[in-house]
Homo-oligomer: A and B are copies of this chain.
Amino acid sequence: MHDIAVIGAGRIGKIHAGNASAEPRIRLKYIVDPVADAAQSLASATGATVATLDQVLADPSVAGVVIASSTDTHLDHSLRAIGAGKAVFCEKPIDLDLQKARAAAPALGGGAPLFLGFNRRFDPSFRRLNDRISSSTMGALETLHIVSHDPAPPPIDYVRVSGGMFKDMTIHDFDMARWLLGEEPVDVYAAGATMVDPAIAEAGDIDTAKIILRTESGRICVISNSRRSGYGYDQRIEAFCAGGLLRAGNMLSSTVESWTESGASSDPLQNFFLDRYAQAYREEMTHFADVMDGVKLLVSYQDGIAALAIAEAAMESHLRMTVVNLSY
């Protein structure tokens, strides 16, 4: 049994706290949040105790820390927790600044037990897709299509501090691309645009993009992004292999269909990432228990840096309207 603390009692902190409570190998001991009411409310609901980060790091019984606080604190909290000898499960992104993130790599990368929460790798369907690609039963992977469209854009205040769509949203797709391609991209072309809301353009960001990545062996990956699908959370991947196609698709909110004279209609796509990836978040907590048991990390700090580097290059490609080489 591993005692842990959850830092951050917001939307994603609540998810992780609930999953920690349900994981048999983990005991949720502390909740940390500068907003006292939020901390107390989550602690009451989960039977945990409110504490400060200092108290958590000073408690030798604490084996791990889940960092679900705001993005600008991820790096500092990770460094302190790793320094205190705790295992870390840190939400993505590790930071919005590639240089700062790289500077911390000696401490947080390598052998450090820092598990970076790229949740989509833990989605059962995407994991099964990865397994089937890796097993090569369909022949070698040749090209990859990732469609990742959000239901609706975030508030404009969030857009302003998000680091831009590529670092905030596409970073998941860059990680999926690296994971499924099984090798690093060598160049990127990103055609971005603002189609959804002019306020996003005024905030200096984009809301729509099509991206092409190429790898050293010649594999090609297309990523499609939109901040507003108009039809729910569209998360699909197609892997074109030498022997055929492997695909993983969307989840519907129910299996109910209606057939009328105007055609057959399903229920809507799941509309919210916490519904779509509920199982993935549970699997992440299971993996964090594994990490505290000494099992090898499935997603490391280096994975976070690699995705961030592609996001920066994609932004450069978009701004300069040209193909950008990726050198690691």
Contact = CB atoms under 8 A, between A and B. Distances in A.
Given A143-B208, A195-B142, A247 B243 contact: no
A195 to B, nearest CB: 5
Contact of A224 (B124, B222, B266): B222
Nearest to A132: B256
Nearest to A24: B45
A240 B226 contact: yes
A245 B261 contact: no
Interface in A259-280: 259-269, 271
Contact of A245 (B138, B145, B229): B229
Interface string A229-259: 1111010000011111111111110111111
B226 A143 contact: yes
A257 B268 contact: no
Contacts of A138: 230, 258, 260
A132 B268 CA distance: 15
Interface residue range, chain A: 35 or more
B231 A244 contact: yes
Given A210-B143, A322-B322, A255 B250 contact: yes
Contacts of A210: 143, 212, 220, 222
A214 B230 contact: no
A139 B230 CA distance: 10
A187 B193 CA distance: 14
A243 B231 CA distance: 8
A323 interface: yes
Interface in A146-171: 147, 149
Nearest to A265: B265
Contact of A258 (B226, B244, B250, B267): B244
A263 B255 contact: no
A323 B128 CA distance: 36
Contacts of A224: 143, 145, 222, 240
A22 interface: yes
Interface string A204-235: 00001110101000101010101001111010
Interface of A: 22, 24, 45, 124-125, 128-129, 132, 138-139, 142-143, 145, 147, 149, 187, 189, 191, 193, 195, 208-210, 212, 214, 218, 220, 222, 224, 226, 229-232, 234, 240-252, 254-269, 271, 321-323
10 contacts: A125-B254, A189-B189, A189-B212, A229-B245, A230-B260, A245-B259, A262-B268, A263-B267, A263-B268, A263-B269
Given A128-B254, A143-B210, A247-B255, 18 more contacts: A125-B254, A138-B258, A142-B208, A143-B208, A149-B240, A191-B212, A208-B220, A210-B220, A222-B224, A229-B240, A229-B259, A230-B243, A230-B245, A234-B245, A245-B258, A246-B257, A248-B255, A259-B269
